[in-house]
């Protein structure tokens, strides 16, 4: 039962979020073989000025063993 959490800057429309969820679901289904009903996707809005402390440090820097796609930026 894959559950994917997408953290993104605030400002995306509901249509954009729905498209993100749709595309992520397709990718997870293709990579794992799970059916649509098994996949869930949540999208969390993060203020740009809070990104480093809310996402970058706890989810990227602190969890290198679970990070399969590293970002090409370093805000520090």
Tell me if 9 sits within 8 A of 46, measured CB to CB. Answer: yes
Question: Is 64 part of the annotated catalytic residue set?
Answer: no
Closest CA to 20 of 37, 6, 39, 34: 6
The DSSP code for 11 is: T
CA gap 43, 18 in Å, rounded: 9
User: Which of 2, 48, 58, 71 is labelled catalytic?
Assistant: 2
Active-site amino acid positions: 2
């Amino acid at each position: 039962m894959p559950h994917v959490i997408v953290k993104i800057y605030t400002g995306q429309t509901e249509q954009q979020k729905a498209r993100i969820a749709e595309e992520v679901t397709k990718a997870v289904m293709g990579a794992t073989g799970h059916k649509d009903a098994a996949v869930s996707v949540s999208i969390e809005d993060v203020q740009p000025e809070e990104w480093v402390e809310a996402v970058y440090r706890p989810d990227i820097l602190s969890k290198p063993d679970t990070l399969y796609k590293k970002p090409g930026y370093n805000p520090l």
